[in-house]
Amino acid sequence: MLQNKITILISFLIVGITYNAQTPQDFGKEIVKTLASPSFFGRGYVNNGSQKTANYIENKFKEYGLKSFNNKYQQYFNINVNTFPTVVDLSIDGKKMITGKDFIVEPVSGSSKGKYTLLWIDSTNFPTIIEKMKSMRIGSSTAFVLDQKGIHNKDTLALFQEFKYYLSSLGPVVTLEDKKFTWSVGHQNAKHAIISVLRTKISKSNKEITLNIKNKFEENYTSSNVIGYVEGRCKKKYLVFSAHYDHLGMMGQDTYFPGANDNASGTAMLLYLAKYYSTHKPKYNIVFMSFGAEEAGILGSKYYTENPLFPLEKIKFLTNLDLAGTGDEGIKVVNGTIHKKEFKKLAKINLEKKYLQKVHFRGPAANSDHYWFTQKGVPAFFIYTLGGIKAYHDVFDKSETLPLTEFTDYSKLLIDFLDKL
Interface residues with Zn ion (CB under 5 A)? 262-263, 322
**Rounded least distance, CB 244 to Zn ion, Å:** 6
**Rounded least distance, CB 36 to Zn ion, Å:** 13
**Rounded least distance, CB 263 to Zn ion, Å:** 4
Nearest residue (CB) to Zn ion, 173 versus 240: 240
**Rounded least distance, CB 371 to Zn ion, Å:** 12
Nearest residue (CB) to Zn ion, 212 versus 305: 305
**Rounded least distance, CB 290 to Zn ion, Å:** 12
Nearest residue (CB) to Zn ion, 58 versus 397: 397
Cα–Cα distance for residue pair 186/183, rounded to 1 Å: 9
Return the closest-CA partner of residue 297 out of 38, 77, 56, 85: 77
**Rounded least distance, CB 246 to Zn ion, Å:** 9
Nearest residue (CB) to Zn ion, 246 versus 406: 246
